[in-house]
Amino acid sequence: MQNHDREPSSLRRLVTILVLIVAGETVFFLPFVLPRVFRPTLLEVFQLTNLELGVAFSIYGLVALLAYFPGGPLADRFSARKLMAFALLATSLGGIVMTSLPSFPVLKMLYGFWGLTTILLFWAPLIRETRAWGGAELPGRAFGFLDGGRGFVAAAIGSSAVALFSYFMPDDVQIATPDQQANAFRQVVLLFSTITFAAAILVWFAINDNSHRHIAPTSELKSQGIVRVLRMPTVWLQSVVVVCAYVGYKGLDDISLYAYEVLEFDEVESATVGTLSMWVRPFAAIAAGLLADRVGVARMTIASLAMFAIGTGVIAIGPFQPGVTAFFFATLIATSAAVFALRGLYYAMMEEGRVPFGDTGTAVGIVSVVGYTPDVFMGPVMGVLLDRWPGERGHQYVFLVLTIAALVGLVASIMFLRIVERSQRQAA
């Protein structure tokens, strides 16, 4: 009888993490994956400058910052299934609007709308459910599987989207007309919208409303919990690490444009470079999560930030020229691995930082308000640098910003480790 009970439990756990993985990535296909892989095409189809696209990202970021904190306590009180399914449905409808290739003012409104749908109702429930899945013993594995799996989904769908885009473009991409570009781009947006809608249905039927409540009690929306989390230095250091790692993640949006403008790749080739970076993500995040459960999350975070700093520093120096790509790809793979390893680690830091499980949503809200500020400033910063210094120089400045962020995060992660080690000694 015990074995019979254990099997459905194991199956349910497997289904839960797989659904969280799929939902956790598809909700960001339209606002993030689309411009990352197809940035040159998006700029041309919408007739935007880099700064204008950065402004749209900033609007998303500002709305998201306002949504992170109230979204945290909501996740501690209400059904993750309902919150996440509705968020996915609404996000997919925004993609339908995008297929009309709206004006820049409408595009800005759309990014603001996505800031609400992806964050207020989705982000904290996703993190809370993942932490519940991993428990106290396997936090690295839980978040490594989540982000690694999300990376696999993004890379697979991204590669499919590039193939679809290529199918609707002429054999000689350079002679594509504006109408051909726009039509191919619409097909990609429609693909992403359909997948996001399908994920909403999957969440609705596969996630158990009460799954997390059986693992740990749900905290009430009380000021004591907020104050308790605000007083934890590890939460603030974790926030700094998230800021710096997320600067790196946002900076990778420049990869496809770098390949297009500096290495002289065509639109399809540059999109392929963007997907190569995405394919690194599942392996890096899962490996980092598994190693973190052995050597410690803080130590793996320190190692990843060091690699991040070295990789972006090399690109900032600018040794890459058209036709000489092997070193570029090696650097890209190493840098992407470091950035995506961090994405699989920085929420696992909550366990070593001893955040009470009942306050997970609140802590996610606080960390996210601070940690995802790059959604506000990185788009305009990149836009100004790339438009003010066209060509290789602008890209070098972008990667210099990433190098500085990596070094700041490295200092914060070392401080975090010292606090963790001190608390462990005291507990012993």
Q: Which CATH class is domain 2-210+220-427?
A: mainly alpha
Measured distance CA(99)–CA(96) in Å, rounded = 5
Average pLDDT of span 383-397: 88
Residue pLDDT, tens place only, 354-363:
777 777 777 8
Compute the residue count for the chain: 428
What pTM does this model have? 0.72
Candidate from 197-201, 294-298, 310-314, 420-424 with smallest mean pLDDT: 420-424
Residue pLDDT, tens place only, 6-27:
444 788 888 888 999 999 999 9
Nearest Cα to 61, choosing from 31, 84, 82, 41? 31
Q: State yes or no: pLDDT of 141 exceeds 80.
A: no
Residue pLDDT, tens place only, 312-330:
999 888 777 766 677 888 8
Candidate from 50-59, 78-87, 221-230, 313-322 with smallest mean pLDDT: 221-230
Confidence of residue 136 (pLDDT cuts 50, 70, 90): low
Residue that wins the pLDDT comparison between 426 and 7: 426
- What is the token pair recorded at 16? 């839960």
Q: Where are the domains of the chain?
A: 2-210+220-427
Arithmetic mean of pLDDT over the chain: 84
